[in-house]
Chains A and B, each alone.
Chain A
Amino acid sequence: MQASPNQGISVNVAASAASGTRESIGTMPLRMKISKVNFYYGTKQILFDISMGVADKRVTALIGPSGCGKSTLLRTLNRMHETVTSSRLEGEILLDQQNILAQDVTALRRRVGMVFQRPNPFPKSIFENVAYGPRINGMKGAISELVEKSLRHAALWEEVKDHLHKSAYELSGGQQQRLCIARALAVEPEVLLLDEPCSALDPISTAKIEELLVELKSLTTIAIVTHNMQQAARVSDFTAFLLTGQMIEFNPTPQLFTTPGDPRTEAYITGRFG
């Protein structure tokens, strides 16, 4: 990776071990930068020497077969790995050039939000779910407006605007997941992490959320883990392919899918394994 004169850092995947020549994509500003990250659960190493970037106001996808470590990697970006006591992280993760590992974790998680694999709304009303984040951050005044704005961004407003005080559990699975997205958006995060957000949903809900993501990137930087390659191809601007804890390839999406630089990437995307 080379530093460039202005704020951005060029994305250059020369760090990838087995690859051949990589061209830099030009100067693409990065919101987050991951450098030489090694991750362990106890004595077992899960991630090996990962380096990549998350481009600002773009969608970056992490793909790979089950167990390759993509979710683990995602969770390091908002330090959720720390909820497991045996986890250990080495390396550097920067958000706007500041090491997130040296910051206060509560403040970090407001800036880097997360949507989980299965919808997990709180046992509260739709309104209160979305209002939760702003409320704990001390917002008192314009909460209703913020809730409406977030629900609109999540393409859920029209469906729930007359039922804001109903329990979140009365919504369908797809609606609940969009509610979770609205909830995450309500704190106005700089980065939004999504961990296989559609894997528990039906195809129609999945399609709705995919549309949503493409629109959301103008609002917030997005990183998404998905086991569905077609989804990654449809939705993302950059894709990283991981295999058994190693970053095999990281490139702009069209390039990775049409002319993969690594034979293993090619094997994966053509369905030979995974």
Chain B
Amino acid sequence: MGARLRWRKFVSNFMLTLTGICAVVSVAVLFFILGYLLFNGGTSINWDFFTKLPKPVGETGGGMANAIVGSAKLLAAASLFGVPIGFFGGIYLAEFSGSKTAGVVRYAADLLNGVPSIVIGIFAFSIVVRPFKTFSTLAGAFALGLMMIPITLRSTEEFLNAVPKMLREGAMALGASKWKTIATVIVPAAYRGILTAILLALARVAGEAAPLLFTAFGNRYWSQGWNQPTAALPEMIYRYAGSPYEDWHRQAWAAGLVLLGFILIINILARTILARGISMPRS
């Protein structure tokens, strides 16, 4: 083997090993993050964290019960707002629309999807906070709901379109009207994919803090109803991590662990549902 060939082979092995290292490093970051959170957050999680309100500034102890409830309220309301728009909009795209309208709607959804979350916050501020003259759960839910729309819309359309023709034709041949076919046959056939998309959308907005800064704003106490500012987990992490208090740092780790745990579990759940396949008819 000539010297030049030996060199080329050496370069080849070297570079390919390097790419392997890049891949391993990239994936290792995930486990590093998890490990760090588990270590720092795990030791700080206690019953208080889930049940107590934050203590006054400077005092140690307390918990994030209000933030947990706040996040739950925000996510629930956001879903109620964003999911139907995305879901029914997706049905329109897949079942009723012409290609021109569909193109416009899809483009709008993609555009909305690319908007930085802080800008969504500005928009929600203008539309909800200003008129009502108060920060509120409603405003926060509006912002988060907006972010759920594009994913839900595109996925609903995609999974509905993937339903095999023969299912549709079978139902139509039995005399079912279009909307009945959609409701009783097509949507159920696509439900797995759509559910997955909704879960992923939920996981995505659960971690967002930027859109909440000018909408839900934060609250060191319980938030009553829907028209008052409220704490949320990501927002608390932000505030506590940037503070000078050791105890708050500890609580930020705990909150980070809970938040990331929640998000990762949903992601894994969603992807496993999807991997197990979209429900197909048994012929």
Expressed in whole angstroms, the Cα–Cα distance for A162 and B4 within the complex equals 34
Are A106 and B9 interface neighbours, CB within 8 A? yes
Contact mask for chain B residues 1-37; partner A; CB cutoff 8 A; 1 contact, 0 none: 1001100110000000000000000000000000000
Chain A contact residue count (CB 8 A cutoff)? 6
Contact B4 A138 (CB under 8 A): yes
Tell me the bound Cα distance from A107 to B5 in angstroms: 8
Check B8–A104 contact: CB distance below 8 A.
no
B1: chain A residues at CB < 8 Å are: 104, 107
- Residue of A with least CB distance to B2: A107
Q: How far is the CA of A106 from the CA of B8 in the complex (A)?
A: 10
11 A-B residue pairings within 8 Å (CB atoms): A104-B1, A104-B5, A104-B9, A106-B5, A106-B8, A106-B9, A107-B1, A107-B5, A136-B8, A137-B4, A138-B4
Q: B residues within 8 A CB of A138?
A: 4
Shortest CB distance B8–A (Å) = 7
Which residue in chain A gives the minimum CB-CB distance to B4?
A138
| In the complex, the 8 A-B pairs of residues with the closest C-beta atoms, listed nearest first | A138-B4, A104-B1, A107-B5, A106-B5, A107-B1, A106-B9, A104-B5, A106-B8
Q: Which residue of A lies closest to B6 (CB)?
A: A104
CA gap between A136 and B5 in the complex, in Å:
10
Q: How far is the CB of B36 from chain A (nearest CB, A)?
A: 37
We find that the number of chain B residues with CB closer than 8 angstroms to chain A is 5
Q: List residues of A whose CB falls within 8 A of some B CB.
A: 104, 106-107, 136-138
Contacts of A104 in B (CB 8 A): 1, 5, 9
Please, which residues of chain A bring their CB within 8 A of the CB of B5?
A: 104, 106-107
CA distance A62 to B8 in the complex (A): 34
What is the interface of chain B mostly: helix, strand, loop, or mixed? helix
Q: Which residue of B lies closest to A137 (CB)?
A: B4
Which residues in A have their C-beta under 8 angstroms from that of B9? 104, 106
Known interface pairs A104-B1, A106-B9, A107-B5; 8 further A-B residue pairs with C-beta atoms within 8 A, sorted by A's residue number: A104-B5, A104-B9, A106-B5, A106-B8, A107-B1, A136-B8, A137-B4, A138-B4
Nearest chain-B residue to A105 (Cβ)?
Answer: B9
A175 to B253, alpha carbons, bound, how many Å? 65
For the complex, give the distance between the alpha carbons of A137 and B4 in Å: 8
Give A138 to B2 CA distance when docked, in angstroms: 11
| Min CB gap B9→A, angstroms | 7
Bound CA–CA A137/B1 (angstroms): 13
Chain B residue, CB-CB nearest to A110: B5
CA distance A138 to B8 in the complex (A): 10
Separation of A138 and B4 alpha carbons in the complex (Å): 8
B129 to A: closest C-beta gap in Å: 52
Inter-chain CA distance A107–B9, complex, in Å, is 10
A137 CA / B8 CA spacing, docked (Å) = 9
CA gap between A137 and B2 in the complex, in Å? 11
Of chain B, the residue at the smallest CB distance from A138 is B4
Q: In the complex, what's the smallest C-beta–C-beta distance from B112 to chain A, in angstroms?
A: 35
A12→B72 CA distance, assembly (Å): 83
The chain B residue with its CB closest to the CB of A103 is B1
B97-126 vs A, Cβ < 8 Å mask (1 yes, 0 no): 000000000000000000000000000000
Closest to A136 in B: B8
Give the complex CA separation of A137 and B7 in angstroms. Answer: 11
A273–B1 alpha-carbon span in the complex (Å): 47
Closest to B5 in A: A107
A186: min CB distance to chain B, Å? 17
Which chain B residue has the least Cβ–Cβ distance from A107? B5
In the bound assembly, the distance between CA atoms of A61 and B4 in angstroms comes to 35
On chain B, the residues within 8 Å of A136 by CB distance are 8
In the complex, chain A residues whose CB is within 8 Å of the CB of B8: 106, 136
Q: A106 to chain B: which residues have CB within 8 Å? A: 5, 8-9
Q: Which residues of B, 36-50, contact A by the 8 Å Cβ criterion?
A: none
| Complex CA distance for A107 and B8, rounded to whole angstroms | 11
B-chain residues with CB within 8 Å of residue A107 when the two chains form the complex: 1, 5
Query: Separation in Å of the A143 CB from the closest CB of chain B?
Result: 16
Alpha-carbon distance between A104 and B8 when the two chains are bound, in angstroms = 12
Q: How far is the CB of A118 from chain B (nearest CB, A)?
A: 27
- CA distance in complex: A80, B199 (Å): 45
Interchain nearest-CB distance for B3 vs A (Å): 10
Within B57-115, the residues touching A (CB, 8 Å) are none
The smallest C-beta distance from A123 to any residue of chain B, in angstroms, reads 21
Cα distance A196–B1 in the bound complex, in angstroms? 32
Q: Which residues of B contact A137 (CB under 8 A)?
A: 4
A107 vs B3: C-alpha distance in the bound complex, in angstroms?
Answer: 12
- What's the minimum C-beta distance from A218 to chain B, rounded to whole angstroms? 28
B1 nearest in chain A by CB position: A104
Min CB–CB distance B60 → chain A (angstroms):
59
Min C-beta distance of B13 to chain A, whole Å: 12
Find chain A residues with CB under 8 A from B4 CB. 137-138
Determine how close the nearest CB of chain B comes to the CB of A129; give it in whole angstroms: 20
Quote the shortest CB–CB distance from B5 to chain A (angstroms). 6
**Docked CA distance A138–B7 (Å):** 11
In the assembled complex, how far is the CB of residue B67 from the closest CB belonging to chain A, in whole angstroms?
51
Per the bound structure, the CA–CA distance linking A138 and B11 in Å amounts to 14
State the CA gap A104–B10 with chains docked (Å).
Answer: 13
